[in-house]
Amino acid sequence: RVPQPGVRNSTRLLDLMPENTIVYAALPNLTSTIVESHRIMQERINQNAALKEWWDKEQSGHHGPNVDQVINSIREFGDYLGEEIAVSVSLNDKNEPVAPVVLAELKNSNGFRAFLEQQVAKYSKSTDKPGDKPDIRFVEDPLTATAPMEKGKTLFVWIQNDLFAASPDLQQLQSLARGGANSFTSSPFHNRIAEVYQQGAGLVVAANLEKIIAQTKAERSKGERDARNEEALNKLGVLSVKYLVLDQNQSDGKTHTRASLSFSDAQHGIPSWLAAPGPMGSLEYISPDANVVAGFVVKDPVRLVDDLLGVMETVSPGLKKNLDQQQADHGLDIRKDIAAPLGGEFAFAIDGPILPTPSWKMVFEVNDSAHLQQTLERLVVEVNKEAAKFGKTGLAWDRADMNGRTYYTLRSADFGVEVNYTYVNGYVVMGPSRAMVERSVRSQESGSSLLRSARFTAGLPTDGNANFSAVFYQNLAPLVQPFADRVANSAAVPEAQQQAIKTMAANMAPTLAYAYAQNDSITFAANTEGGPFGLSPATLFGMPNSFEIQHVLQQGLKQK
C-alpha cells in the first residue's frame, strides 16, 4: 500500500502569513508517497520483460533528466522539508495584489541551503540562455537587505532556524522578519482556515472572495453594460460570496474532498435557492445502473423564477418585456402555471443506453398535478397554433390507463421524438419511452433504486447519511467501455496504447458528490476511490499522447 501523508493540526505557517492575505494554499510533504509509488511502479515494470524493454528505451531517449533522476531529486528535496508547505497572496496598502510568499518548516536548515545552492548551480549550467538562469538570492537578514531596481526578477530566500521563506518581493520577508503582532491571526478569514486544521488538514486552498470581488469591482463595472451585468450578478447572489475553503485528504483508500462556500448575504439569489439537506425521494425512480445523475432541492420554485426574471430584466429589459407579452398573448404565466404547481425536488439522469436514443430521465416533485397537467395541455394547444402557421403538424397527445395510473405520451411527428410521463406519489416521472417510465416506477415500488445500490452507498459520508441539498453521481465506465474497446481494437492503435485505453476505461470508478446548504454557506463534498471523481493521477495520464505512461503508472500505483 502506498503511504499517504497524515493530516496536520499545527497552524504555525498559517499564523505567519501577511496581514492582508486573500489567498492561502497549503499542501503536505508528498515525498514518501511519490517515492514509494515510483518504487512500486519500477517493481511492476521489472516483472514484465517487454514492458521493461520499452521503458528502458523510453528513458534512454530523453535528452534531459529521466523519471528516475527527477524522483531522486524530489526525494532529496523532500527529505529536508517538514510536513507542510504553504503559500499566500496578499494585498498591499493600495489594495493591490503583491507577489506570493512561500513558507515551509525545515528538518535540516544548513543542509537544505547547501542542497538548494547545488541544485541552482546545476540548473544554471544546464542552460545557455542568460534569461533562463534562475536569479535566486539568499538573504541573511531581510531587514538589512536591499532589492534590485528591477522588481520581480529575483527570488529572495531567507532561512531562519527551521523556517524557510521565499518571495519575489523582499518586503514580504522583511515584514516576516520584524515579527510582532499580526492582525491576520485574529481575522475571520484566518479563523475559518484554522477550523480546517482543528479537524485535520490535508491539501488546503482558501480564498477571501469578498476582498477579491471588492478589489476587482472598478474593472468589472466600467461602462453601462458592465454596470448592468454587475447588478445582475448581485441579484444572483454571486457577489455576496465571502470565503471559499477547500480541504482534501486521503484515508482508507479514498480521497475525501470538502469545499465550503460562505456568503455575506444568503437572503437572495443562488445562496437562497437550495433547501436544507433532506431525503431525495426523486432518486427512488433512478435505477442502480444509471450512468449520470444530478439532483437538487430548492426552497421555493416561484422565488427562484422571480430571481431569474429579475436578472433577465436587469440584463435585457427588452427580452423581459417580450416574455411578458408572450405570456399575455398565450394565456400562460410561468410563475403561477409552471413554478407554483411544482415542489422542491428535481432530478435528471442518463439511465440506460445512449444509442440509438439516449435514455434520459427527469423526475420532478409536484404539489398540484392537476394544475400542471392543465398547463401542459394549454401549452401544447398554443404550440400547435404556432406550428400550423408554418405548415407543421405540431404535437399530439396519447394516454393510456394501466395499473391504476395514467401514462401520457406527447409526440412530435415533425421531429420524430416523444416524451412520456406519469404522475406517481407526488412526482412526475418523464422519459423517452413509456417502457422506461414504467421501469422507473417499478424501481421505486421494488426498492431497487439507485439509493440502495452498492456503488452509490460506497460514496456516502462515513455516517451513511443520504440527506443532501444537491447530489451528482457518475458511473461512466459502462458508457465509455464500448467506445474504448472500439478504439483499442483499431489496427491503427499500437498494442501498448490499446492496453492503456482498456485499462483506463476499466478503472473509472463511480463517483458521488453532494452539497449541503446551511444558513449562510454551501458545502460540497465527495469521497472517491483513487482520486477526485475517480480519476487518479495515473488515470489522468491516459489523456491523448500519453497512453503508454498512463499504463505504466496505472500498474505501478495499484496497491499491493
| pLDDT tens, position by position, 396-450 | 999 999 888 999 999 998 888 999 999 999 999 999 999 999 999 999 999 999 9
The tens digit of pLDDT for each residue in 379-399 reads 999 999 999 999 898 999 999
Residue 496 lies in a domain: no
Answer for the pair 547, 496: CB distance below 8 angstroms, yes or no: yes
Residue 557 lies in a domain: no
Higher pLDDT among residues 402 and 222, named by residue: 402
Residue 43 binned pLDDT confidence (cut-offs 50, 70, 90): confident
- Give bridge partners of residue 410 from the DSSP assignment: 397, 419
Higher pLDDT among residues 543 and 232, named by residue: 232
Answer for the pair 338, 375: CB distance below 8 angstroms, yes or no: yes
Residue 4 lies in a domain: no
Q: Mean pLDDT score of the chain, rounded to an integer?
A: 83
Answer for the pair 69, 123: CB distance below 8 angstroms, yes or no: no
pTM to 2 decimals?
0.82
- The pLDDT value recorded for residue 493 is 61
> From CA 496, how far away is CA 99, in angstroms rounded?
45
Higher pLDDT among residues 542 and 354, named by residue: 354
- The pLDDT value recorded for residue 183 is 87
The tens digit of pLDDT for each residue in 191-221 reads 999 999 999 999 899 999 999 888 887 777 6
Residue 492 binned pLDDT confidence (cut-offs 50, 70, 90): low
Q: Are residues 151 and 180 in the same domain?
A: yes
Q: Which run of H or E residues covers position 231?
A: helix 224-235
Residue 534 binned pLDDT confidence (cut-offs 50, 70, 90): very low
Residue 253 lies in a domain: yes
Answer for the pair 512, 520: CB distance below 8 angstroms, yes or no: no
Q: What percent of the chain has pLDDT over 90?
A: 47
Residue 148 binned pLDDT confidence (cut-offs 50, 70, 90): confident
> Distances from the Cα of 411 to the Cαs of 97, 380, 382, 441, in angstroms?
58, 11, 15, 21
Q: Are residues 140 and 182 in the same domain?
A: yes
Q: What is the torsion angle, in degrees rounded to the nearest 10, for the CA atoms of residue 531, residue 535, residue 540 and residue 542? A: 140
- The pLDDT value recorded for residue 461 is 85
Domains in the chain: how many in total? 2
Closest by CA position to 337, among listed 390, 398, 379: 379
- In this prediction, residues 63-79 reach a mean pLDDT of 68
Answer for the pair 280, 427: CB distance below 8 angstroms, yes or no: no
Residue 498 lies in a domain: no
- The pLDDT value recorded for residue 504 is 65
Q: Are residues 191 and 307 in the same domain?
A: no
Q: Are residues 170 and 240 in the same domain?
A: no
- The pLDDT value recorded for residue 515 is 94
> From CA 426, how far away is CA 282, in angstroms rounded?
10
Residue 418 lies in a domain: yes
Q: Are residues 58 and 41 in the same domain?
A: yes
- The pLDDT value recorded for residue 542 is 35
The tens digit of pLDDT for each residue in 493-528 reads 666 566 666 666 666 788 899 999 998 999 999 887
Q: Are residues 162 and 228 in the same domain?
A: no
Q: In this model, does residue 321 exceed pLDDT 50?
A: yes
- The pLDDT value recorded for residue 458 is 87
Q: Are residues 129 and 277 in the same domain?
A: no
The tens digit of pLDDT for each residue in 233-266 reads 888 988 899 999 999 888 777 788 899 999 998 8
473 contact partners, CB below 8 Å, separation of at least 6: 290, 292, 293, 294, 450, 456, 459, 510, 511, 512, 513
Q: Are residues 127 and 147 in the same domain?
A: yes
- The pLDDT value recorded for residue 76 is 75
Q: In this model, does residue 533 exceed pLDDT 50?
A: no
Residue 560 binned pLDDT confidence (cut-offs 50, 70, 90): very low
- The pLDDT value recorded for residue 121 is 80
Q: Is 299 helix (H, G, I), strand (E, B) or coil?
A: coil
- The pLDDT value recorded for residue 2 is 58
290 contact partners, CB below 8 Å, separation of at least 6: 349, 350, 351, 352, 361, 450, 473, 475
Q: Are residues 352 and 433 in the same domain?
A: yes
- The pLDDT value recorded for residue 126 is 64
Q: Are residues 421 and 453 in the same domain?
A: yes
- In this prediction, residues 483-496 reach a mean pLDDT of 64
- The pLDDT value recorded for residue 51 is 58
- Among residues 183, 210, 237, the one where a domain terminates is 210
The tens digit of pLDDT for each residue in 87-107 reads 999 988 888 888 899 999 998
- The pLDDT value recorded for residue 508 is 74
Q: Are residues 181 and 249 in the same domain?
A: no
Residue 61 binned pLDDT confidence (cut-offs 50, 70, 90): low
Q: In this model, does residue 330 exceed pLDDT 70?
A: yes
Q: Please, what is the Cα angle at 378 between 375 and 379, to 5 degrees?
A: 85
> From CA 38, how far away is CA 71, in angstroms rounded?
8
- Among residues 210, 241, 272, the one where a domain terminates is 210
Residue 331 lies in a domain: yes
Q: Please, what is the Cα angle at 337 between 319 and 228, to 5 degrees?
A: 25
- The pLDDT value recorded for residue 556 is 35
Among 87-96, 173-182, 339-348, 447-456, the range of highest mean pLDDT? 339-348
Distance in angstroms between the alpha carbons of the first and the last residue of the chain: 5
What residues make up the domain containing 415?
216-475+510-529
- The pLDDT value recorded for residue 522 is 94
> From CA 335, how far away is CA 523, in angstroms rounded?
29
- Among residues 210, 241, 259, the one where a domain terminates is 210
Q: Are residues 329 and 239 in the same domain?
A: yes
Higher pLDDT among residues 559 and 148, named by residue: 148
Q: In this model, does residue 25 exceed pLDDT 50?
A: yes
Residue 112 lies in a domain: yes
Task: Please give the sequence-ordered ranges of beta strands (E in DSSP) within 70-147, or none if there are none.
Answer: 81-90, 101-106, 136-138
